């Protein structure tokens, strides 16, 4: 199963938990802390599972970004041109 073929909503609960641990490692320790060994240890899974689910480290990063982005609610623009006023209105509604 390649991460390229998955939408963030198609990640399993276990994969989501692994991606949460990867994000925690990245936030706590920076880029150097985000290793497949470190993620496997933090998420209590094997490196083989990480490679099977996400491919390489770049795939893990891509999946983590896609997963986090899927949790952000955005607004529908319906094709209208974005202006500073409409952006302000959307940000007020969002907040």
Domain count, the chain: 1
Task: Indicate whether 6 belongs to any domain.
Answer: no
Residue 6 scores a pLDDT above 60: no
**For the domain that residue 31 is a member of, what is the CATH number?**
1.10.10.60
Task: Indicate whether 3 belongs to any domain.
Answer: no
Q: 50-86 pLDDT, tens per residue?
A: 999 999 988 998 999 888 888 876 666 666 677 788 7
Cα distance between residue 40 and residue 45, in whole Å = 5
- For helices 13-29 and 47-54, give the axis angle rounded to 10 degrees: 110
Domain residues for the domain of 39 are 13-73
Task: Indicate whether 94 belongs to any domain.
Answer: no
Task: Indicate whether 34 belongs to any domain.
Answer: yes
Cα distance between residue 72 and residue 66, in whole Å = 10
Task: Indicate whether 82 belongs to any domain.
Answer: no
Task: Indicate whether 36 belongs to any domain.
Answer: yes
């Amino acid at each position: 199963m390649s991460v390229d073929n998955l939408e963030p909503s198609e990640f399993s609960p276990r994969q989501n938990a692994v991606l949460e641990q990867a994000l925690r490692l990245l936030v706590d320790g920076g880029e150097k802390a985000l290793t497949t060994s470190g993620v496997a240890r933090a998420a209590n899974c094997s490196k083989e599972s990480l490679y099977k689910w996400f491919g390489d480290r770049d795939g893990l990063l891509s999946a983590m970004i896609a997963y986090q982005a899927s949790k952000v609610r955005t607004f529908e623009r319906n094709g209208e041109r974005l202006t500073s006023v409409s952006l302000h209105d959307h940000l007020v509604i969002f907040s």
